[in-house]
Amino acid sequence: MHVRILLQITADDSTVGVTEEVTAFEKPVERPEDLGLSLAEGKALTAAVQGQIVKAQVASWADRQRCCEACGTRRRSKGSSPVVFRTLYGDVPLASPRLHRCPCQSTDGPATLLPLRTLIPGQIAPERLYLEARWVSLVPYAAAAGLLADVLPIASGANRTTVREHALRVAERAEAELGDERPCFIDGCPAEWEALPIPEGRIVAALDGGYVRNWDDRKSNFELIVGRSVPEDRAPRYLGLVHGYDQKPKRRLFEVLKSQGLQANQDVTFLTDGGEEVRSLTELITPEAEHVLDWFHITMRLTVLSQYARGVVHHDDAEGARLLASLDSIKWLLWHGNQYRAGEEIAFFEGGVDDLEVSYPNLGKFKRAAHEFAVYIASNAGSLINYGERFRSGERISSCLAESTVNAVISKRFAKRQQMQWTKRGAHLLLQTRTRTLDGTLRPLFERWYPGLANDNGNGAAQAAAA
């Protein structure tokens, strides 16, 4: 048994004109795979429907452009040139009409005009641009192109070069909107800040660095700085930039906080690894800022030190055990914000490591790490807090409570392990669409640029895609 399906478009006004056959299928009904539309049929169908709709819309639009805005006279046609409009449901070939200038217009301007250029300047549908930018932010360029071509009837342009170029164009547009860089973003005076309404709760912003492989010099790496800003009652946001390449790092951070409702009398905690670059990025952003050494980075260093101490146990178990106990005590003192005694214990520990006389092969590295840890804690003395107390009061003291930001933003897409190489420009721009994809602000950005995207005729498909 076969079912014949004929699909027609019938216009309900005069714009499209006549009833037209879109496509016809012969469907057998014998096996599970016979039911409904196949992938290929679905693509053919949506492409056919899309072509008809776009052509009808453009025809009716072009017809309205035909008359002069000033005097209403119908302009003379000077033929047309072919253009391809890239949509989600296929590439639609269109004839772009060329019209003579109306005689009533000044002769200074161009002799002919191409009205379609104003309707589709980039010759790509915004929603296709959105999906491309979204998918290349999540998976490598070639995989994103393949994925889109798998499910959508797009043949041309579904390759890594084109989707990359489109996504970077999106990022560049977003970059162009970013305000000027300033050395200081603190405005006004304390009296004005006090008069502000009671702010929402504290914002905690964790910033960290990660490395990716350099395309220009394959043996070297360059640094990305990523951040995650978490207000008490609002959605978290991500931030990303290429260190040394980005000309507006402070403005970028400031805008993220501002989008989360930051006001001058609001408490903001910056959690960092204590590194110079990241630290200076957070200076002079907002008056009530507190700089805290991320507990995550303290424990990472302590973990490395205890691994060395455990190595010492195999050569001198009494000495090794003493050092392990000392590390426990350092961790406990730092956790409770007892800086003075922590400093003493660290000096005792460093001295103990220095005095070690065992044949432990990593002894040199251990001594270096112990010394570096002492310097690290001493130079970040102003950024140590009572972590235990903060933790008990439910505040974030570490960026790794859920997943480290570096892992979420960098590792899963920029993957050094997969030998991916990046130009600074490419990495920086991709970070802009990736951070927005991860925190859900890419779709709202597109809806601001293209307000019509929010019109879904009640289908909510856009919201589902963005979720």
Q: Give the binding site for Zn ion (CB under 5 A).
A: 68, 70-71, 73, 102, 104
Select 70 or 176, whichever has its Cβ closest to Zn ion.
70
Report phi then psi at 218, rounded to 5: -65, -15
Residues 6+ apart with CB under 8 A from 106: none
* Residue with smaller CB distance to Zn ion, 33 or 69: 69
Nearer to Zn ion, 106 or 419 (CB): 106
Question: In angstroms, what is the minimal distance from the CB of 108 to Zn ion?
Answer: 15
Nearest of 65, 81, 74 to residue 102 by alpha carbon: 74
Between CA 98 and CA 101, with CA 100 as vertex, the angle to 5 degrees is: 125
Nearer to Zn ion, 77 or 362 (CB): 77
For 56, residues 6+ apart whose C-beta sits below 8 A from its C-beta are 11, 15, 16, 17
Residue type, 20: E
The nearest distance, CB 449 to Zn ion, in angstroms, is 32
When the beta carbons of 70 and 191 are compared against Zn ion, the nearer one is 70
Do 150 and 163 touch, CB atoms closer than 8 A?
no
When the beta carbons of 57 and 73 are compared against Zn ion, the nearer one is: 73
Closer to Zn ion by Cβ: residue 71 or 325 = 71
| 3-class SS shares of the chain: helix, strand, coil, % to 5 | 50, 20, 35
In the DSSP assignment, the letter for residue 372 is H
199 Cβ neighbours under 8 A, 6+ residues apart: 261, 263, 265, 266, 267
To the nearest whole angstrom, how small is the minimum distance from the Cβ of residue 75 to Zn ion? 8
Which residue's beta carbon is nearest to the bound Zn ion? 68
Per-position b or e across 297-308, b if 16+ CB within 10 A of its CB:
bbbeebeebeeb
Q: How far is the CB of 246 from Zn ion (least distance, A)?
A: 49
For residue 204, the cross-strand partners are: 230, 269
Looking up tokens 């910033």, which residue turns up? 207
User: Least distance from C-beta 72 to Zn ion, angstroms?
Assistant: 7
If the CB atoms of residues 118 and 359 are measured against Zn ion, the closer one turns out to be 118
Residue with tokens 């994925």: 147
Minimum separation from the CB atom of position 99 to Zn ion (A) = 11
Q: Are 372 and 321 in contact (CB under 8 A)?
A: no
Tokens 């002492």 -> residue: 374
d(CA 143, CA 137): 11
Q: At what angle do helices 126-138 and 442-449 cross, to 10 degrees?
A: 160
Nearest residue (CB) to Zn ion, 7 versus 104 = 104
Least distance to Zn ion, CB of residue 436, Å: 44
Structure tokens at 158: 């579904």
CB of 103 vs Zn ion, minimal distance in Å: 7
Least separation in angstroms between residue 73's CB and Zn ion is 5
User: How near is the Cβ of 105 to Zn ion at its closest, in Å?
Assistant: 6
CB-wise, 104 or 415, nearer to Zn ion? 104
Q: Which residue(s) pair with 113 in the sheet?
A: 99
Sign of CA dihedral 406, 408, 410, 415: positive
